[in-house]
Homo-oligomer: A and B are copies of this chain.
Amino acid sequence: MVLTPRAETLLKALIERYISDGQPVGSRTLSKQGGLELSPATIRNVMADLEDLGLISSPHTSAGRIPTALGYRVFVDTLLKVRPMDTPEMHRLADELAYDGNPVHLMESASTLLSQVTKLAGIVMIPRQEEAFRQIEFLSLSSANRVLVILVTAKGRVHNRVIHTDHRYSPAELVEAANYFNDTYSGRPLGDVKRDLLGALQRDGDAVQRAVRNATMMARQMFTDEESAGPDVVVSGEANLLNIPDLGDIEKLRKLFDTFNAKRALLHLLDQSMRAASMQIFIGQESGYQALEECSVVMAPYQVGGRVVGTLGVVGPTRMDYDQVITVVDVTARLLGGALSTEGH
């Protein structure tokens, strides 16, 4: 599929017009504002070619043409020259990203930012990275037989949990238990630690010292159904999608909202985007999900210290302002990565 330069500019003009108007675009309209000086008739010829190539189509005989998914694809891949965002605008965005030290809040803030600027739905994935064990502490609570277990990971994330014990431990016992644990497992991935603990269940002999047994027992409770769940997703601005006439069919909207709630499909897309390590755009059915068939998804991974740690993006109707969305997603990804790397270390 090779397009003449003229066909290209025509296609570009048509798509841009359609994106801004939402109406099928006819030859006359294009002839007047398309930039190139051609009569409607000529334009009709070119449009017929474009239709043969599957880039545009007409909803019915006597309406103008609208881009197909393939048309958008070509537009996005080869016609769209994304202009870099000017610095003042970028600073404005950066200011919106409130960082209060809590990474989850930061993600939420990024998601709202995306949805507010684009007027579409913003999504941000918070990956639960496989972290390494750093330190565990057992803290006796003043009420009987309860111990607070605090787990600090190598990245400085803190998990805690109150567990019930069969008897009251002395502070000394607790310290001893913690020491054993910290010596043994420091630096090991959490997954390993967990596996070990479950294995320990079996080989607990009488031979093992009490401190070890105590530590094992308490730590095991800590790890039991600790949210080992998958990564988490923040979605915001779904309500924006209600505004969009393209998604007129309420049934489609419903499916979309269900998808947002289920989040499985989103996770999959986000995951793909993680791997891709650069911006990805899914147009229409390209995402492979029925509910997203009339939607496009623009996603970009964000990095901290050169490593991809998560991904974010925007979901909207196929007819979205790709130009704007792409820059905003790109910039937000960079800003988010930047904000995260200023996190204490």
Kindly state whether residue A253 has any CB partner on chain B within 8 Å.
Answer: yes
Instruction: Choose among B158, B243, B344 the residue that contacts A254 (Cβ–Cβ < 8 A).
Output: B243
Kindly state whether residue A238 has any CB partner on chain B within 8 Å.
Answer: yes
| Residues in B whose Cβ lies below 8 Å from that of A101 | 161
Distance in Å: Cβ of A81 to nearest Cβ of chain B: 34
| Residues in B whose Cβ lies below 8 Å from that of A261 | 236, 239
| Residues in B whose Cβ lies below 8 Å from that of A94 | none
For A233-250 the 0/1 string (1 means CB < 8 A from B) is 000101100110000001
| Residues in B whose Cβ lies below 8 Å from that of A225 | 100
For A99-119 the 0/1 string (1 means CB < 8 A from B) is 011000000000000000000
Kindly state whether residue A308 has any CB partner on chain B within 8 Å.
Answer: no
Distance in Å: Cβ of A74 to nearest Cβ of chain B: 32
List 5 A-B residue pairs with CB atoms under 8 Å apart, sorted by A's residue number: A100-B225, A101-B161, A135-B141, A158-B160, A160-B160
Instruction: Choose among B152, B164, B242 the residue that contacts A257 (Cβ–Cβ < 8 A).
Output: B242
Copies in the complex: 2
Distance in Å: Cβ of A270 to nearest Cβ of chain B: 20
The docked-state distance in angstroms from the alpha carbon of A137 to that of B140 is 10
The docked-state distance in angstroms from the alpha carbon of A142 to that of B258 is 45
The answer to whether A162 touches B257, judged by C-beta atoms less than 8 angstroms apart, is no
The answer to whether B160 touches A141, judged by C-beta atoms less than 8 angstroms apart, is no
Kindly state whether residue A139 has any CB partner on chain B within 8 Å.
Answer: yes
Tell whether A146 pairs with B156 under 8 Å between CB atoms, given A164-B344, A242-B253, A257-B242: yes
Tell whether A148 pairs with B150 under 8 Å between CB atoms, given A225-B100, A242-B254: yes
Residue ID in chain B nearest A243 by CB atoms: B254
The docked-state distance in angstroms from the alpha carbon of A238 to that of B238 is 11
Kindly state whether residue A12 has any CB partner on chain B within 8 Å.
Answer: no
